[in-house]
Amino acid sequence: MQNDGGVLVVAFGTRGDVLPLLHVARALSTSNARVRFATHEVHASLFDWLGIELIPVPTDPMRPAANAWTEYAPVVASCECSVPRVIVFNLFSLGAWYIARKFAVPTVAISPCLIPYQHPPSFITLLRRLQPGLRRRLLDADGRAGCLGWVEISHWLWPLWSGRWDELRAALQLPAEVLLAEEDLPPPPPLLYAFSSLLIPPPSYWPPSVRVVGCILDPAADGGGGEDGEHGHSSGSDIMIGSESLEAILTDRPLYIGFGSCSELILQTPESLTPRDSTGSPRGGSQPSLQCGRREDGITSACDDDAGEECEQRGEWGQRSIGARVLSAAAGLARLTGRPILLHACGCEALRSLWEQQLQQLQQREREAEEEEEEVEEEVEVEEVEEEVVAEVKETAEQEVEQVKAKVKARVKAKVEVEGEEVKGGPQRALLSSSCRPRFSLVAGELPLGRVFKRCCAALHHGGSGTVAAAVAASLPQLIHPLIFDQPRRDPLAEIPS
C-alpha cells in the first residue's frame, strides 16, 4: 500500500445529501489537493468537468444495499491502492468509519440535515449483550478530552452497532468488539452540521465534537445552493412546455415549484404518503402511512413496494396525486395574482410527463373557454343590435334601416368593449381571458437554484436542506410541503430571514 495523502470523500444518498460534500471536494481540489469521491454511479453526471476522481458505487441512493460489503468494496479497493490522509463522509455512509479504523486514518462527518431519530431503547440491551463493558467504558470517557464517549455514540454513531455492518467488519478483518478490544479509545470524529444555527440552534447537551458550521453552498452558484440540479443552466431542450422562455418567466418573478429528490414521492396520493414529524410519527394524526424513500444506515426506511403497487393498481397515481393537485392549485393562484409559475421536475421523468399532460389539458380548456367567450359576445352583440334596430325602425323610414344597423352595431360593440361586466358571464370569464391566462415554464433538468431564487417571488418545495438554504440565502419566502426524514423539522423554520 502506498500512502500518498489526499482526501477521500464518501457520500451516499440523494443528490441533496451528496452535493454539500461535493462542494467541499471542489474547494479542496482547487487548492491542488488530491480528492477522490465515492458515491452512487447514478450521480456520475455531477462530476463532469470537475477534475475529481470518481469512485462509482453501483447501489440505489434511496435504499440501503442488502450487503454493506458490496456497497463499500470499491471504496476499500481504492484505499488499498492509495491510503488517504483523511476520510470525509456523510451520515448515509457510516461504513466509512470502519474503513478509517482499518487504515488508521482520521475522519470528519458532514451532514446538511439534523438526525431526526434517536437510538431505540433496545440498543443499550443489544450493546450490553454484544460487547459487555463497552457502554461503561464509553460513559467513563464522557467529558474526557480527545476520547470517544457515550455522548457521541448515542447522538449519531449508534447505528454502527447494528447487524448491517457484520459483513463489512469481517471483510476488513476488524474484531466484532472494535472499540472494546482497543487499549485506548480513539478521538471522537468531528460531526459538522451544514445548516444555519438560526434554523436549528445547537442545544447545550451536544458533545463538543458536534458543531453547526452553516450552510455549504456552491461557490459557483453565486451564493445559492439547491438540493437538485445546482450545476449549470438549463438548456433550451429542458423547457418542455410553456408559451414563454425561462428567461421571460424569471423577468416577472415567478412562483417556483419543485420537490428535488423527492419528486417521485409526490406522484403518490396524500393518503398513501403522510409526512412525518421529528419523532417519526405521522403529522396530524396516527393514521397509517407509506414511509418512503430516504436510506438510513442501520435503520430501514425504504419504500414499501407492495403498498406502492397496490396504490398503482387502485389508480391513485396521476390526477389524484400530490403533484397533480399542486399544479391545479398553482393555476388558480396564477390567475388571481398574475404571477407566472416555474415548474421544476428535477429530472423526474414521470413528474415531467404528468405536469406536461396537465398543462396541455389546461391550455386546451382555456382555448375552448376563450372560443366560447367569443361566441357569447357575438350572440349578445347580435341580440342587442336586433332589439335596438326593431325599436328604431318603428320611428324611421324603411330606407334608413341599413344606416341604423351600422350605427347601432358600432355603439353596441363599443359598449361590449368598455363595459365588459354587463356582458353575460363577464366577471367569471374574465379569469380565463388571455390577459389572465396562467403562464408556466416547465423545466425537466437542472437549474442553478441559487441564481433562480433571487429572481422568484416565492418557492413551494419539499424542505430539502439545500433548497431551504438556497431560499434563505436569497431571502425568498417559502412554503414547505415536507415528505420524509428531517424535512418536517424545517417546516416551521422557513420564515427565518437570511
Q: What is the mean predicted confidence (pLDDT) over 315-321?
A: 50
CB 33, CB 52: distance < 8 Å = no
Which uninterrupted H or E stretch holds 152? helix 150-152
What is the number of other CB atoms lying within 10 angstroms of the CB of residue 239?
18
Contact between 27 and 220 (Cβ < 8 Å): no
Distance (Å, whole) CA 260 – CA 241: 19
Question: What is residue 186's DSSP assignment?
Answer: P
Q: Is 69 helix (H, G, I), strand (E, B) or coil?
A: helix
The residues that bridge with 53 in the sheet, in sequence order, are 36
What end-to-end distance do the CA atoms of the chain give, in Å? Answer: 47
Distance, CA of 376 to CA of 382 (rounded, Å): 10
pLDDT: which is higher, 346 or 435: 346
Q: Which of 313-322, 340-349, 399-408, 468-477 has the lowest mean pLDDT?
A: 313-322
Measured CA to CA in angstroms, residue 80 lies from 11, 99, 108, 174 at distances of 19, 10, 20, 15
Residues 268-293 have pLDDT tens digits of: 665 555 544 444 444 443 333 323 33
Relative orientation angle of helices 68-81 and 95-103, to the nearest 10 degrees: 30
What is the DSSP-derived secondary structure letter of residue 155? I
Nearest CA-CA partner of 116 in 467, 490, 481, 493: 490
Neighbouring residues of 114: CB distance < 8 A, sequence distance ≥ 6? 193, 195, 200, 486, 489
Indicate the SS3 state at residue 22.
helix
| pLDDT, averaged across the chain | 74
CB distance 449 to 229 below 8 Å: yes
| Residues 141, 146: Cα–Cα separation, whole Å | 9
Q: How far apart are CA 83 and CA 77, in angstroms?
A: 10
* Cα of 277 vs its chain's centroid, Å: 17
Q: Please name which of 33, 39, 48 lies closest in space to residue 20, comparing C-alpha atoms.
A: 39
For residue 123, what is its C-alpha cell?
440498543
Interval 105-147: pLDDT, tens:
999 999 988 876 678 888 888 888 878 888 888 998 888 888 8
Any residues with CB less than 8 A from the CB of 321 and at least 6 apart, and which?
266, 267, 268, 269, 354
pLDDT at 382: 63
263 vs 491: which has the higher pLDDT: 263
Residue 405 has pLDDT above 80, yes or no: no
* Sheet of 440-443, strands arranged across: 239-241, 440-443, 341-344, 255-258, 458-461, 478-480
For residues 51 and 361, give the distance between their C-alpha atoms in angstroms, rounded to a whole number: 45
Report yes or no: 148 and 140 within 8 Å, Cβ to Cβ: no
Task: Give Cα 183 to chain centroid, integer Å.
Answer: 44
Supply the pTM of this predicted model.
0.67
pLDDT band at 415 (very low <50, low <70, confident <90, very high): low
Confidence check: pLDDT of 420 > 50: no
Which of 101, 161, 475, 449 minimizes the C-alpha distance to 298?
161
- Three-state DSSP state, 434: helix
Residue 1, Cβ density class (10 Å: 0-12 exposed, 13-18 middle, ≥19 buried): exposed
The single residue listed with the C-alpha cell 431505540 is 120
> Using 50, 70 and 90 to split pLDDT, how confident is the model at 10?
very high
pLDDT band at 172 (very low <50, low <70, confident <90, very high): very high
Altogether, the residues listed in the chain come to a count of: 498
Can you give the pLDDT at residue 115? 73
Q: Which residues of 31-111 form beta strands (DSSP E)? A: 35-40, 53-57, 86-89, 107-111
Alpha helices in 270-315 (DSSP H): 305-313
Retrieve residue 87's grid coordinates: 476520510
Work out whether the CA dihedral 197, 201, 202, 204 comes out positive or negative.
Answer: positive
Gyration radius from the chain CA atoms: 30
Q: 151 is written with which cell numbers?
A: 455522548
> Is the pLDDT at 93 greater than 90, yes or no?
yes
Q: Is 126 helix (H, G, I), strand (E, B) or coil?
A: helix
- 419 — pLDDT class (breaks 50, 70, 90): very low
Round to whole Å and give the CA distance between 412 and 419: 10
Most confident by average pLDDT, 161-165, 219-223, 279-283:
161-165
